[in-house]
Amino acid sequence: MICALSILITSGRAEYGTILLYHRFGDDRYPTTSVSLEDFERQMSYLKEKGYRVVPLSRLVDMVREGTIPPKTVAITIDDGYGTTMKAFAVLKRFGYPFTVFLYMEAVGRYPDFLTEEDLKELTAYGKVEFENHSYSHRAFGLMKDPSAFLEDLERSERRFQELFGRRPRFYALPFGYYNRRIIDILKRRGYTAVFTQDPGNVGSHTELHRIPRQAIVGSWSRMENFRKKLEREPLPLKELLPDYGFLRRNPPERVGALLLFPERYTDCRVYVTELGWKIAKREGALVFRDGVPFLKRKWNRIGVKCRNRETGRWAESFWMVAR
C-alpha cells in the first residue's frame, strides 16, 4: 500500500510542478529519443512567455518534501549525457535556465557521442548545472529479480562519480525508467534523496521521493502540442495501487486500478495498461478499476489511472510500472 502525504489544494486544484525529461537534441539518427533544436527552442521560449518558473531539480525536490509547490514550477533534466547535450546547453544558457544531467557513468568522458571531461568542465562553469547518477553500465536492472548486479553497478557508478566530481550523487535516474521494489529499497538504504522514473506525470506534495515521475519530451512527444498538454496535466493523488508497483504477485491480476486519495474531487476515470490501452473504469467509492484483465504477456507494463478534476476540468493522472 502506498501512503500519500498531505497535498496542497487551492480552489480544488492540486498545485504541482513538472519535471521535463530529454535525451538527445537535433540528432536525426535517433528520432525516438531526440527533440529537434527548433522544437526545443520553442519549448524554452514557451516556458518564459507563459510565466513558468524554471528551478533547479534539487529545489523542486525540496518543494515536494515541504509540501508547497508554486504554480507553473518546472525543472529540466537530461538523461545519459550524450554529446548533443552541448547543443541544448547553448539554448539553456541563453535563457539562463538551470538544469540537471543524469550521467551514464561508464560512457561519459570515454565513449564517442557522449560528453567529454572538457564538456563537463564547461557545464560546471555555467554554475546552474547539477550532475547526478544514471548508473554505470545502463542495463535494464528493473527487470532483474536478483538485485546483485544492480548493487555492483551502483557501487561502480558512485566510484566514478566521486572521481569526476569529488562527492557522492544525491539523485538517481533509473536506466530505461525500469524499477522494482528491491531496487528502490537499495537506493533508499544507499542514501539517495530522490529517485526518478520515466513514468509520465507531474509532481505534487503527495509524490513519493523515491519514485518521482517525469514528462519525457522525445520523438513524437516532443511536438509543441504534446509539450503543452504535459504541462497542464495535474498529478492524481492515490492511496493504494492495484497491483502495487514492481513484480506481479499474480498474473493475470484480479483488478487493475487504484484507490483515490480524494475521491470526491474526481470523475470520469479511466485505467491504462500498456498492452491493453485505456478503458473506462468501474468505480466503487474511492476505488477505480478494470477487471477481467487477461494474462499480461509483456516483460513489463505501465499502469495508469486518470480522472477529470470536477472543479478545474483538467485531467489528473498517475502511472506506475509492473513486471512479470
* Apex 38 CA angle, 45 and 221, nearest 5: 90
What is Dmax (Cα atoms) for the chain?
58
State the DSSP H helix or E strand holding residue 58, giving kind and residue range, or none if neither: helix 57-66
Per-residue pLDDT in tens (0 to 9) along the chain, 324 residues: 333 332 333 333 458 999 999 999 999 999 999 999 999 999 999 999 999 999 999 999 999 999 999 999 999 999 999 999 999 999 999 999 999 999 999 999 999 999 999 999 999 999 999 999 999 999 999 999 999 999 999 999 999 999 999 999 999 999 999 999 999 999 999 999 999 999 999 999 999 999 999 999 999 889 999 999 999 999 999 999 999 999 999 999 999 999 999 999 999 999 999 999 999 999 999 999 999 999 999 999 999 999 999 999 999 999 999 999
16 exposure class (CB count in 10 Å sphere: 0-12, 13-18, 19+): buried
pTM of the model: 0.94
State the DSSP H helix or E strand holding residue 13, giving kind and residue range, or none if neither: strand 13-14
Domains in the chain, CATH or no CATH each: 9-234 (3.20.20.370), 238-323 (2.60.40.1220)
**Angstrom distances, CA of residue 264 to CA of 233, 274, 285, 286, 287:** 18, 27, 9, 8, 11
Helix (H) and strand (E) counts in the chain: 7, 22
Task: Collapse the DSSP code of 306 into the 3-class scheme (helix H, G, I; strand E, B; otherwise coil) and give the result.
Answer: strand
CA 51 and chain centroid, separation? 22
Q: Which three cell numbers stand for residue 67?
A: 509540501
The pLDDT assigned to 220 comes to 87
The pLDDT assigned to 252 comes to 97
DSSP state of 117: H
What's the Rg (C-alpha) of the chain?
A: 19
Task: Collapse the DSSP code of 212 into the 3-class scheme (helix H, G, I; strand E, B; otherwise coil) and give the result.
Answer: strand
- HSE-up of 36 (CA within 13 Å, CB side)? 7
* Helix residue ranges per DSSP H, 73-189: 85-95, 117-126, 148-165, 181-189
State the DSSP H helix or E strand holding residue 47, giving kind and residue range, or none if neither: helix 37-49
Q: What is the 3-state secondary structure (H, E, C) of 264-313?
A: HHEEEEEEEECCCEEEECEEECCEEEEECCCCCCCCEEEEEEEEEECCCC
Which residue in 218, 194, 266, 193 sits closest to 32, CA to CA? Answer: 218
- Is the preceding omega at residue 252 within 30 degrees of 0, hence cis? yes
The pLDDT assigned to 14 comes to 55
Q: Which amino acid is at 245?
A: Y
